[in-house]
């Protein structure tokens, strides 16, 4: 089996009518995946292949993007019908701010998932990166998202990259002390720096605020530094070294100062990662890059 990328980003659970689960029976043993979809869903060869390449089909718990992969009796196949309808992200639109043999940093626009969701990979930044690498001649390219970024948020997303003949460096990067600077607009007035230290709980879908009695809670601290106030909201700056952008949104919500906007794909959440700095774990080089500020984030001290 093969995956189009090494990343999966949490997303809303697919509606029941979108997801179809089947188990291959004896007469389907040895069929190609696209033949199975054709038989079970009434799809033509082209439509079934398109759905598979869009990342909407799993064998067991593994996404596969190879239409000619053969299934075996008893294997469970999960299909997300909506995957093929997702609009692709043109690799030519990618804004790459840093690239070397081991990683790529891309300035992600609002509303675009950084990595594949459970329901599909097409339209995600990671999918476009894989396409870009494939066009450049990289054999079976893979990318791994180092830090999650809400689909509605914008800014710098760090990915590891590798091809068929190279090892994955994802573990070397996820353990790094990476300084990330964010800007966000919070609903309400923030007169001075505010801190939230509510612990978080890791979940299958990402993270959430922990309750007082939960033993698996992970310590977390977010400091919101106000930069400017206007239109009933406060522009703030936040620095993180661990955790994802979800931490910012959750802690803002805990302070009753939610981030302006919506977090889903196609939405605008007024939250952006505007700077990433770290020591490269392979080369030892100092990497320090910035993103173009979204219009809503341009006021205040720079």
Give CA–CA dist 110/264, Å, rounded.
9
The torsion defined by the Cα of 225, 125, 287 and 283, in degrees rounded to 10, comes to 150
pLDDT digits (tens, 9 = 90+) for 175-204: 888 999 999 999 999 989 999 999 999 887
Residue 162 pLDDT level (bands cut at 50, 70, 90) = confident
pLDDT digits (tens, 9 = 90+) for 60-89: 999 998 999 999 999 999 999 999 988 889
CATH architecture group of domain 91-297: 2-Layer Sandwich (3.30)
Where would I find the H helices in the chain? 33-41, 45-53, 125-135, 170-174, 245-254
**In three state form, how does the secondary structure of 3-59 look?**
CCCCCECCCCCCCCCCEEEEECCHHHCCCEHHHHHHHHHCCCHHHHHHHHHCCCEEE
Helices and strands (DSSP H and E) totals, the chain: 5, 16
Is the confidence at residue 302, as pLDDT, over 60? no
Is the confidence at residue 3, as pLDDT, over 60? no
> Which phi and psi angles does 101 have, rounded to 5°?
-70, -15
pLDDT score, position 173:
85
CATH architecture group of domain 19-85: Roll (3.10)
Half-sphere exposure of 193 (CA within 13 A, CB side): 8
Residue 48 pLDDT level (bands cut at 50, 70, 90) = very high
Same fold, 19-85 and 91-297: no
287 is written with which tokens? 């990497």
pLDDT over 70 percentage in the chain: 91
pLDDT digits (tens, 9 = 90+) for 93-137: 999 999 998 999 999 999 999 998 888 999 999 999 999 998 998
Place of tokens 């093969």: 2
pLDDT score, position 8:
55
The residue extents of the domains of the chain are: 19-85, 91-297
pLDDT score, position 175:
80
Q: Which of 15-19, 61-65, 118-122, 150-154 has the lowest mean pLDDT?
A: 15-19
The conformation of residue 272, written as its DSSP 8-state character, comes to E
């Amino acid at each position: 089996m093969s995956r189009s990328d090494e990343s999966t980003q949490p997303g809303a659970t697919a509606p029941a009518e979108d997801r179809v689960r089947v188990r291959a029976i004896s007469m389907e043993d040895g069929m190609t995946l696209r033949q199975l979809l054709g038989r079970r869903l009434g799809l033509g060869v082209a439509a079934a292949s398109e759905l598979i390449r869009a990342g909407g089909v799993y064998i067991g718990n593994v996404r596969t993007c190879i239409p000619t992969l053969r299934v075996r009796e008893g294997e469970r196949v999960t299909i997300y019908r909506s995957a093929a309808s997702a609009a692709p992200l043109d690799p030519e639109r990618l804004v790459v701010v840093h690239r070397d043999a081991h990683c790529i940093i891309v300035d992600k626009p609002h509303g675009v998932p950084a990595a594949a969701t459970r329901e599909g990979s097409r339209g995600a930044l990671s999918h476009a990166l894989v396409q870009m690498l494939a066009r450049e001649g990289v054999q079976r390219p893979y990318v791994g998202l180092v830090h999650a970024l809400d689909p509605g948020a914008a800014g710098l997303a760090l990915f590891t990259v590798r091809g068929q003949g190279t090892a994955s460096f994802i573990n070397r990067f996820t353990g790094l002390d990476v300084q990330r600077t964010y800007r966000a607009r919070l609903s309400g007035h923030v007169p001075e720096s505010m801190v939230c230290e509510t612990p978080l709980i890791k979940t299958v879908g990402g993270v959430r605020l922990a309750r007082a009695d939960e033993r698996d809670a992970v310590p977390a601290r977010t400091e919101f530094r106000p930069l400017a106030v206007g239109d009933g909201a406060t522009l703030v700056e936040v620095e993180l070294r661990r955790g994802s952008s979800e931490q910012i949104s959750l802690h803002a919500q805990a302070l009753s100062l939610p981030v302006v906007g919506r977090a889903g794909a196609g939405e605008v959440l007024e939250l952006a990662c505007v700077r990433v700095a770290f020591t490269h774990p392979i080369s030892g080089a100092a990497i320090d890059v910035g993103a173009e500020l979204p219009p809503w984030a341009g006021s205040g001290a720079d």
